[in-house]
Amino acid sequence: MTTTKGCTIKVCELVIRLGDFTIHDGLSLQVYNGEITSVVGASGTGKSVLLKTIIGLIKPIKGSIEIFGQDYNKLSSSEAHEVRRHCGVLFQDGALFGSLTVNENIQIPIKEHFKLPQKTMSELSALKLSMVGLDADVGNKYPSELSGGMRKRVGLARALALDPELLFLDEPTAGLDPIGAAAFDQLLLELQENLHLTVFIVTHDLDTIYTVSNRIAVLGEKKLLVSGTIDEVRSFDHPWVQDYFHGQRSRAINQ
């Protein structure tokens, strides 16, 4: 086995099939310690599926996945529980628990893993809520009473509840207003700096890509097309990549 030092996530020769449809065929990808890696690709290229596979929700047909240097598929359930404790996940549509209030949603990972007084948990959930830019009175509402963008933010607050070392974000800024999205980028940078967070982020937001990413991975044709720094990826010779980084929207940002 090759050394995995410096790698938080290491995906090797992954084959994923859902139904009769092969979504990834020999995909390899690395996410390095303390880096923010953005995963881009056309809609339907399997970014969300890749994320779910890495966190162990979808079983690959072939290939290996290592998180924190451990092969996820070989872990016992208590070890997997411990790994989960260090991962925060924001799903594409928030995936909040509809029967719990926002505060309870944020506190539930803490309750699951630690035994802390209610006051401390309220304090922590209030802090997380404010970090993602929501007012304190949102805390007593139910997810069905929130807008899509607010649900996203609550999802992020829940993902941050345990101060994870590894954060998975599925299109975190989709549905946020540009100011909120910019604040989100800043928060991400700040957390990365303070907590040495490693972030795996699926996004279409070119602003996010340019502001926060240390590394970009482009998915396409059922595998990893290219990964590297922004400049490396931008100069990669592939029609989709060229379109993506040199299209109209991208030009507007570069000006």
Partner 1 sequence: MATTIGWLKVGRTEKSRQVSAGGFWTIDQLSELQPAVDRLKIDGTVATDIDFKQIERMDTAGACLAVRLLDRLEVKSPQQVHANEAVDSIMATVLRYKRSAASDPAESNALIKIIERIGKATLEALDLTACFVVFIGNITRHLLGTVGRPVRFRFSQTMTQIELSGFNAIPIISLISFLIGIVIAYQGALQLGKLGADIYTIDLLAVTILREMGILLAAVVIAGRSGSTFAAEIGSMKLNEELDAMHTIGMNPMEVLVLPRLIGLTLSLPILTLIANFFGVIGGGLMVWLVMDISPTLFVIQFINSLSPWTFWIGIMKAPVFAAVIAVIGCYEGMQVSGSAESLGAHTTRAVVESIFLIIVFDALFSIFFGVIGI
Query: In the set 21, 98, 248, 252, which binds partner 1 (CB under 8 A)?
Result: 98
Q: Which is nearer to ligand ADP, 45 or 105 (CB)?
A: 45
Binding of residue 173 to Mg ion (CB under 5 A): no
Binding of residue 186 to partner 1 (CB under 8 A): no
Binding of residue 49 to ligand ADP (CB under 6 A): yes
Binding of residue 104 to partner 1 (CB under 8 A): no
Q: Count of residues for the chain? A: 255
Binding of residue 22 to partner 1 (CB under 8 A): no
Q: How far is CA 218 from CA 15, 38, 79, 232, in A?
A: 17, 8, 31, 11
Cα–Cα distance measured from residue 69 to residue 54, given in angstroms and rounded to the nearest whole number: 13
Cα–Cα distance measured from residue 103 to residue 239, given in angstroms and rounded to the nearest whole number: 46
Cα–Cα distance measured from residue 246 to residue 235, given in angstroms and rounded to the nearest whole number: 10
Q: Which is nearer to partner 1, 25 or 165 (CB)?
A: 165
Which residues, in sequence order, are bridge partners of residue 10? Answer: 30, 66
Binding of residue 71 to partner 1 (CB under 8 A): no
Cα–Cα distance measured from residue 24 to residue 116, given in angstroms and rounded to the nearest whole number: 42
CB of residue 232 vs partner 1: minimum separation in angstroms?
Answer: 30
Query: In the set 112, 123, 177, 243, which binds partner 1 (CB under 8 A)?
Result: 123
Q: Where do contacts with ligand ADP occur on this chain (CB under 6 A)?
A: 18-19, 21, 23, 41, 43-49
